[in-house]
Amino acid sequence: MDVDALKEFCSALPGAASKLFGPPSNVLVYYARGRKFAYFKTSEPERWRFSIRTTPERFLELTDIPGIKPARFLARWHWVTIVDVARVQDDELRGLVSASYERATASRRATGRGARRA
């Protein structure tokens, strides 16, 4: 899957929206329900590197694969960066994006971030 096909896939997910941020961040971010589920770096030298959120278990597994590394600034929340999306099998990439999307759209737990306190 190339970058354009992956951008189309992200945009086609239910309720997905994207926003392009210019300097200094230079990222194209995909959101669902107001929460980020994927983003591309849009400037050199990291142009079109792609990042998604994973589970803690998948984070460890994925970061052992050449070409997939912890995402800068977001690794502690289990985000990974795929250096070249064309090197990842299409089905695997769709599955990773779908899982990140599902994490973003899942209901927040009553004790989680954004919960009201009595």
Q: Which of 111, 105, 98, 100 is nearest to 55 (CA)?
A: 100
Bridge partners of residue 29, in order along the sequence: 19, 39
pLDDT at 117 over 70: no
**To which residue do tokens 């250096």 refer?**
83
- Model confidence, pTM: 0.84
C-alpha–C-alpha distance, residues 43 and 22, integer Å:
9
pLDDT above 50 (res 41): yes
* CATH architecture, domain defined by 3-105: Alpha-Beta Complex (3.90)
Enumerate residues 6+ apart whose C-beta is below 8 A from 98. 13
Confidence category of residue 87, pLDDT binned at 50, 70, 90: confident
Q: What is the CA radius of gyration of the chain?
A: 14
pLDDT score of 64 more than 70: yes
Residue 76 has pLDDT above 80, yes or no: no
From the list 46, 44, 4, 12, the residue with the least C-alpha distance to 30 is 12
**What digits encode the pLDDT tens for the residues 96-111?**
999 999 999 995 543 3
pLDDT of 107:
59
pLDDT of residue 109: 42
Which residue intervals of the chain are DSSP H helices? 3-12, 56-62, 90-105
Helices (H), 1-107: 3-12, 56-62, 90-105
